[in-house]
Chain A
Amino acid sequence: MAENIPMLALSPTMEEGVIVKWVKNEGDAVAQGDVLCEVETDKATMEYESPADGVLLKILAQEGSSVPVGKEIATIGEAGEKAEGAAKTAEPEHEKEEKAVEKPAEAEKKPQEPAKAEKPPEKAEPEPEPPAEQTQKPRLPEEAPPQQKMTKPAAEGKFVATPLARRLADERGVDLSTVQGSGPDGRITRDDVKAAVSKTSPQAATAAAQGTLEDKTIEITPKRKVIADTLSGSKFSAPHFYLKVTAGVENLMAARARLNKSLNAHVSVNAFLIKFVAETLRRHPMVNATWKEDAIEQHAAIDIALAVSQPDGLIAPVVRDCGAKGILQIDTELKALVDKTRKGALTRADYADSTFTVSSLGTYGIEEFTAIINPPGSAILAVGEFMKICVADENEQICAKLCAKLTLSCDHRLIDGAIGANFLRDLKQMIEYPIEPLY
């Protein structure tokens, strides 16, 4: 019996899918589970597996076409069969409560379909007593009774199922009245439903096996809203480009170790980085500037923000006027700001109006990344993990060297590639040989 197969929802939110490629051609023999075609969903490109054994009789949706969930994409039947006679498949089910009773309703309609001569083989099997009322009285679709009434007869004593089994059946469109329960007194369990699902839809079975995430709606906090608005505003209005260098940080770490030892202190790496960035910015005023639509504002003060992760979202407190401050003072102010951040005591004055931002994900083991510019600044430096990498030294010998990968995101409206490149080159130089700029 030829059967038209529909586009399936291959992601939870998919409304339609684009046929990227047909893997099988018309006339090819297919087995249940074979990949028929590749479908691009709203999330990814997924493989569409054949729900049945047979021959791919006809391709109804060509490569490149977008097909709504539920619409037929191909006909599968036996060799020599005509595709035109294929039985229609179900319309997409929008109300999940209807799913549980879809089959009995279908069964009634089927006699009226063109393919009525070919009774579905499963009808020949003794079904576990579908509700008599539904099988005997033909019912037009518009007469469909309210959902509650439709699910109730099944729930009332026709079968016993665990709550999880009921829910899974609901989600996967399994008619529990067709499932044989393996639990005590024939109780239908999760495994019974999964077995039933995998018999009919391999995709659904895979999805069901995947874990226990919960659907839930998280309310957007005001802070999250600000982050979303600021960053999407930045990303959508400022044309970003990215420059990457690898900088050796051994001198920096050695200098820091000396300083910490002599002061018996714990000056942070970030304080050093901020100071080096400030010194470099002083030499590249266009990177310490703001795009104002009708003008470019260069800033006298170098106000550097440091991105700090918080459970309720990111925030970037600002160390003011870093050009005029030493590493120790920057460190002290930075620690006070981070402390304030942890206590949730930052005020707007603490985080607004930075001219440049530093973001570091090194402690997460991130080697390198690109960051979104934090306005009103026009560039942001993304600092990766300090890690040993193999390099060739002056004598062409391979050695391990402590390095960090730096990525500068620039707003191309005011920072051209060369400006950004010069800045980053000088910053790398500053980090590697902090004495040299003083020559």
Chain B
Amino acid sequence: MPVIAYRDALNQAIDEEMARDDRVFLIGEEVALYNGAYKVSRGLHDKYGDRRVIDTPISEEGFTGIGIGAAMAGLRPIVEWMTFNFSIQALDQVINNAAKMRYMSGGQFSVPIVFRGPNGPAEWLSSQHSQALDAIYSHVPGLKVISAATPYDAKGLLKSAIRDDNPVVMMEAELLYGAKGDVPTDEYLIPLGKADIKRPGREVTLITFGKVVHMVLAAAEALAQDGIDAEVIDLRSLRPLDEAAIVASVAKTSRCIVIDEGWPIASVGAYVAWLVSHRCFDRLDAQVELVTSEDIPMPYNHQLELAAQPSVDKILAAVEKVLYL
């Protein structure tokens, strides 16, 4: 199986879907001539031209809204936000227009669109360019929200997202774009709404998503050294959530830690933790723990910014609490 980078897996997904369906096009800042700020769209402009790979001015609200209007009218746009930090400029379009158009029109319109770009903390960027906004989008009914941790998941999820008839927000990660992994040559799709057990285990469930999946897997390895068998659930889809997978795992382990690189209050992780306490109440042999970023804007200093985020040590400390070690 070929081993390719996360950015190339995304590129393949876009390329294949554009080749498959003329309604699919890519729009955003620097996506065409520059080949993408993070080179996700490398080569696509050469292949598909101005009509289908469209450079925009720096007008997030404008080109996001244009994408939504085009989707209402039957196209299937992929809107690239250079980063999710800038997507906040377009939040009105996503929340008020994309998510609600179908509902407000009594089902007359659908909005088959994908919004995607890097999300979450990166490095040395301070507060405005380093933040995880998963919770903001996951809060909104009418949106689907996905977060891929591996090249395999990135490609399979993005292809499903492009084919979905609803607005899908795909959270990628700047620090993952170079990550490599197996991606089959044969076409495959990963359905939205299905979590993945990244590591099976019996004694404690670690639920997470996105970039921190890798950190959580490292924590699980460290636990295995100590003879503790942890199960790692990668949600992959934050909305809809795979509740069945969560419940099945916690029913098995009776212990649950949720790891979310966003802020703690009203976060995806907080919701999942509630869900576990609600659905698995009398399966739990310990309180549900939540490991998140600290409740502060991201500092610039590297030591501080690392301390502000989840870490293997923080996860291990949480495991100790729920295992009464």
Direct contact of A and B (CB under 8 A): yes
Interface residues of A (CB under 8 A from B): 162-167, 182-184, 187, 189-191, 212, 214
User: Quick one: CB contact mask for B51-84 with A, threshold 8 Å, 1 for yes?
Assistant: 0000000000000000000000000000000000
A183 to B324, CA, bound (A): 6
Q: Is B228 an interface residue (CB 8 A)?
A: no
Cβ–Cβ < 8 Å partners of B281 in chain A:
163
Q: Is B314 an interface residue (CB 8 A)?
A: no
What is the CB-to-nearest-CB distance from A160 to chain B, in angstroms, rounded to a whole number? 11
Interchain CB contact under 8 A, A164 and B282 = yes
Q: Is B140 an interface residue (CB 8 A)?
A: no
Of B154-162, B189-197, B283-291, the stretch lying at the interface with chain A is: B283-291
What is the CB-to-nearest-CB distance from A191 to chain B, in angstroms, rounded to a whole number? 8
Interchain CB contact under 8 A, B285 and A182 = no
Interchain CB contact under 8 A, B324 and A164 = no
A165 to B285, CA, bound (A): 7
The 3 closest A-B pairs by CB, nearest first: A167-B282, A164-B285, A190-B285
Instruction: Give the interface size class of chain B.
Output: 10 to 19
A162 to B281, CA, bound (A): 9
A164 to B281, CA, bound (A): 7
Query: With A190-B254, A214-B251 given, is the CB distance from A163 to B284 under 8 Å?
Result: yes
Cβ–Cβ < 8 Å partners of A190 in chain B:
254, 285
Cβ–Cβ < 8 Å partners of B285 in chain A:
162-165, 189-191
User: Quick one: CB contact mask for B206-237 with A, threshold 8 Å, 1 for yes?
Assistant: 00000000000000000000000000000000
Q: What's the A-B contact tally at a CB cutoff of 8 Å?
A: 31
Which of A182, A190, A212 has the most chain B CB atoms closer than 10 A to its own CB? A212
Cβ–Cβ < 8 Å partners of B283 in chain A:
163-164, 167
| B253 nearest in chain A by CB position | A212
What is the CB-to-nearest-CB distance from A171 to chain B, in angstroms, rounded to a whole number? 10
Cβ–Cβ < 8 Å partners of A163 in chain B:
281-285
Cβ–Cβ < 8 Å partners of A189 in chain B:
285-286, 324
Which of B251, B283, B284, B285 has the most chain A CB atoms closer than 10 A to its own CB? B285
Given known contacts A162-B284, A163-B283, A214-B251, what 12 new A-B pairs fall within 8 Å (CB)?
A162-B285, A163-B285, A164-B284, A165-B285, A166-B282, A167-B282, A167-B283, A183-B324, A184-B324, A187-B324, A191-B285, A212-B251
A214 to B283, CA, bound (A): 11
A167 to B254, CA, bound (A): 12
Cβ–Cβ < 8 Å partners of A183 in chain B:
286, 324
Interface residues of B (CB under 8 A from A): 251-252, 254, 281-286, 324
Cβ–Cβ < 8 Å partners of B254 in chain A:
164, 190
What is the CB-to-nearest-CB distance from A267 to chain B, in angstroms, rounded to a whole number? 24
What is the CB-to-nearest-CB distance from B323 to chain A, in angstroms, rounded to a whole number? 10
| A162 nearest in chain B by CB position | B285
Cβ–Cβ < 8 Å partners of B251 in chain A:
212, 214
What is the CB-to-nearest-CB distance from A172 to chain B, in angstroms, rounded to a whole number? 13
A167 to B282, CA, bound (A): 6
| A214 nearest in chain B by CB position | B251
What is the CB-to-nearest-CB distance from A186 to chain B, in angstroms, rounded to a whole number? 11
Cβ–Cβ < 8 Å partners of B284 in chain A:
162-164
What is the CB-to-nearest-CB distance from B312 to chain A, in angstroms, rounded to a whole number? 23
Interchain CB contact under 8 A, B282 and A182 = no
Interchain CB contact under 8 A, B252 and A182 = no
What is the CB-to-nearest-CB distance from A190 to chain B, in angstroms, rounded to a whole number? 4
Interchain CB contact under 8 A, A162 and B286 = yes
What is the CB-to-nearest-CB distance from B185 to chain A, in angstroms, rounded to a whole number? 22
Which of A162, A166, A190, A191 has the most chain B CB atoms closer than 10 A to its own CB? A162
A212 to B205, CA, bound (A): 14
Which of A163, A187, A190 has the most chain B CB atoms closer than 10 A to its own CB? A163
- 21 A-B residue pairs with Cβ-Cβ distance under 8 Å, sorted by A, are A162-B284, A162-B286, A163-B281, A163-B282, A163-B283, A163-B284, A163-B285, A164-B254, A164-B283, A164-B285, A165-B285, A166-B282, A167-B283, A183-B324, A184-B324, A189-B286, A189-B324, A190-B254, A190-B285, A212-B251, A214-B251
